[in-house]
Amino acid sequence: MTPLKDGYFDSFRGMVNTRERADNGRMNVRFHTARASDGSGHMWQGLGMDRQTMFARRRGRAVPDQRLTSNARSTAKAAS
pLDDT at 64: 64
Q: Is residue 73 part of a domain?
A: no
Does some domain include residue 79?
Answer: no
- Cut 0.85: pTM above it: no
Report the C-alpha gap between 78 and 36 in whole angstroms: 33
Q: Is residue 33 part of a domain?
A: yes
Q: What is the total count of domains within the chain? A: 1
Q: Does 54 reside within a domain?
A: yes
Would residue 75 count as lying in a domain? no
Residue 26 counted as domain residue: yes
Exposure string of 4-18, with b = 16+ CB inside 10 Å and e = fewer, is eeeeeeebeeeeeee
- Examine residue 77 and state whether it is found in any structural domain, yes or no: no
Spell out, as residue ranges, where the chain has pLDDT lower than 70: 1-4, 62-80
> Which domain covers residue 39, as residue numbers?
5-67
